[in-house]
Amino acid sequence: MADKTPRGRARRTLWWLTGLIVVLTAILGVGIATQQAQWAPKLALDLEGGTQMVLAPEVAGGQQVTQEQLDQAVEIIRQRVDGSGVAEAEIATQGGSNVVVSLPGVPEAETRALIQASANMEFRPVITMGPFEPVPADQRTPVKDFPEPSAEPQNGSDPNWVTPELAAEFEAYDCAAQMNNPDRKEFPADGPSIACQPGDEESGQPGVKYLLGPVEVQGTDIAGADFGLVNTATGVSTNQWAVNLSFNGEGADAFREVTQRLTPYQEGDPRKQFAIVLDGTVVSAPQSNAVITDGRAQITGNFTEQSAAALAEQLKYGALPISFTIESEQQISATLGEDQLRLGLIAGLIGLALVAAYSFFQYRVLGLVTIASLVVTGLLTYLAIVLLGWSDNYRLSLAGIAGLIVAIGLTADSFIVYFERIKDELRAGRSLPEAVEYGWSRAKRTITASKAVNLLAAVVLYFVAVGNVRGFAFTLGLTAIADLVVVFMFTHPVMQLLAHTRFFGGGHRMSGLDPSLLGREPLYQGAGKVRQFRPSPEATSSKKARKSAREADRRQTIAERRRAEQMSGVGSQAAGATTPADRTEEQK
């Protein structure tokens, strides 16, 4: 039968925490064994150094690049580089004509190609569609069995674009492999193409493979894009998100012709759709439900606010007709270097030492619980940072280390709140096991509220900031989560177990829970005895007793002070009362 006592629950919680640490360590060990991860965290540009590339823009048609286009190019490159995590890259314009990209380490060929490529957006009509995965080799249709086109294609949606060779290629096309292949086949703008739309894990929508007609509207014809809630004709919101798209004059004419052709197709016919293709990947394939004559279209569907904002951003910036050539490339040393890293680590150790010194001074041996809790918090945070470096390319910067140092003090606050609540319960006359349980029920609400505020501040700072500040916010939020885990799964269970030991439960002088230091003896003294009222400091002759009484006065709660004042008033009245005999004696 499971032990349902506080000690039994404490032991189970500690085993769960141990299991969590073991699992995280095992996952990291597998990554290291397969040479995909390392024990040390990945370092950012300011600590490791890296590669600096100066990019010269090239605009389609030989036009002069504008500052707005250059700023948009910087944003696109930043999204491409940092899209999978906090990579701590530095991207900025230089002299109003170039873009400087500084990346940690040595970038791979795929990263260089990603940075240099222009954002090529196209609108292509859908001819047919199929599953994301390729047809198994033993089930594919031979090329000779596909029909030949019956005539020349009349428009972009005409199935006569599909030759037997293209049909066979469509069956065998592996979307998962091709989307991650920088050398994938490029299809001409004036002919058919194959493109894929990846699935959405949140909505459960599977990936789709499309066979598309030639480009009918260029991304450069987009005048603007935004997102918002759909309203009815009477102005009432439907609580559905949509993306609003507008074209310039040439784009409006081309889009009108496309919607005139696509709208009459029956519901469910793939040819009713047009695909928005960005860098060879389909980002959306909406249906045409009406003829758009004014160049203002609205894309609706199962959008969330986040997905609608993402698509609007892609439509707005994805049409930028700029590519880049690497004008110069050089290796750069760490901008802050090993000295600053060493000083930062020393600052962290000093902060940890000060917290330890305060804990031992204030709580005696109980301070070891604080130190042990900080060690466990540090271990969980370290494992999380290393695993995130492996899975999401997270890199630790000096700003991130500053967030970890600040978190030491914030983490210690949780233990101080908890211990002080326990001491309050001891002053109220409870035994230590009872004080631990009652003190925890009061302290956990304060601790949870405090960490929720820290986490909210970190999240807001992360999303409104860029660069190194995001690294600071990320580590601050990460340690807040680790702190909650440790307080609930380590600090409180350890206190539940220590409360039943002779050293702590008996109130040893070095335990930090000595009743004489708290100024109050336990209410029950044993052998049928209960605590008597404590004499005032003036009535005590012992120096230790007077010190204990003064400490008790200093640490009294509001209710205790009021009670003491009432008892003092009663005593004064009793002392000042006289009997008739006394008054007679006084008159004599």
pTM above threshold 0.75: no
On the question of pLDDT at 544 being above 70, the answer is no
DSSP helix/strand/coil, 100:
strand
| Residue 48 or 88, more confident | 48
Q: Give mean pLDDT, residues 309-327.
A: 72
d(C-alpha 400, C-alpha 395), whole Å: 9
Query: What is the number of structural domains in the chain?
Result: 3
> Would you say 309 and 229 are in contact if contact means Cβ atoms under 8 Å apart?
no
Percentage of the chain modeled with pLDDT above 70: 79
Whether residues 36 and 64 share a domain: the answer is no
Which pLDDT band, with edges at 50, 70 and 90, does 169 fall under? Answer: very high
On the question of pLDDT at 357 being above 80, the answer is yes
Whether residues 251 and 149 share a domain: the answer is yes
Convert the pLDDT of each residue in 472-531 to its tens digit: 888 999 999 999 999 999 999 999 999 888 888 777 888 877 766 665 554 444 444 444
Convert the pLDDT of each residue in 65-116 to its tens digit: 777 777 777 777 776 666 434 456 778 888 777 888 888 777 766 667 667 6
Whether residues 275 and 143 share a domain: the answer is yes
Convert the pLDDT of each residue in 440-451 to its tens digit: 998 999 999 999
Whether residues 29 and 168 share a domain: the answer is no
| Residue 119 or 124, more confident | 124
Whether residues 356 and 408 share a domain: the answer is yes
> Could you count the other beta carbons within 10 Å of the beta carbon of residue 165?
10
Q: What is the mean pLDDT of the chain?
A: 80
Q: Give mean pLDDT, residues 156-179.
A: 90
> Would you say 303 and 284 are in contact if contact means Cβ atoms under 8 Å apart?
no
Looking at the domain assignment, is residue 159 inside a domain?
A: yes
On the question of pLDDT at 167 being above 80, the answer is yes
Among 233, 272, 572, 290, which Cα is nearest to 564's? 572
User: Given this model, what pLDDT does residue 232 score?
Assistant: 74
Whether residues 88 and 158 share a domain: the answer is no
On the question of pLDDT at 30 being above 50, the answer is yes
Residue 11 class from Cβ within 10 Å (0-12 exposed, 13-18 middle, 19+ buried)?
middle
Q: Give mean pLDDT, residues 281-287.
A: 87
Whether residues 396 and 443 share a domain: the answer is yes
Looking at the domain assignment, is residue 449 inside a domain?
A: yes
CA dihedral 419, 422, 428, 429 (to 10 degrees): -120
Whether residues 227 and 260 share a domain: the answer is yes
Q: Give mean pLDDT, residues 393-405.
A: 84
Whether residues 494 and 447 share a domain: the answer is yes
Residue 547 class from Cβ within 10 Å (0-12 exposed, 13-18 middle, 19+ buried)?
middle
CA dihedral 287, 245, 317, 68 (to 10 degrees): 160
Q: Which of 505, 522, 548 is the last residue of a domain?
A: 505
d(C-alpha 314, C-alpha 296), whole Å: 17
Convert the pLDDT of each residue in 558-567 to its tens digit: 555 666 666 6
User: Given this model, what pLDDT does residue 360 score?
Assistant: 87
On the question of pLDDT at 547 being above 60, the answer is no
Q: Which residue in the block uniquely carries the two structure tokens 């470096």?
A: 389
Whether residues 135 and 236 share a domain: the answer is yes
Q: Which of 505, 526, 561 is the last residue of a domain?
A: 505
Three-state SS string over 178-209 comes to HHCCCCCCCCCCCCCEEEEECCECCCCECCEE
> Could you count the other beta carbons within 10 Å of the beta carbon of residue 414?
26
On the question of pLDDT at 536 being above 50, the answer is no
Domain span at residue 345 reads 11-42+335-505
| Residue 106 or 259, more confident | 259
> Would you say 26 and 87 are in contact if contact means Cβ atoms under 8 Å apart?
no
Q: Give mean pLDDT, residues 198-210.
A: 81
On the question of pLDDT at 418 being above 80, the answer is yes
User: Given this model, what pLDDT does residue 84 score?
Assistant: 38
Convert the pLDDT of each residue in 287-301 to its tens digit: 898 899 888 888 887
Looking at the domain assignment, is residue 354 inside a domain?
A: yes
Looking at the domain assignment, is residue 344 inside a domain?
A: yes
Tell me the CATH number at 89: 3.30.70.3400
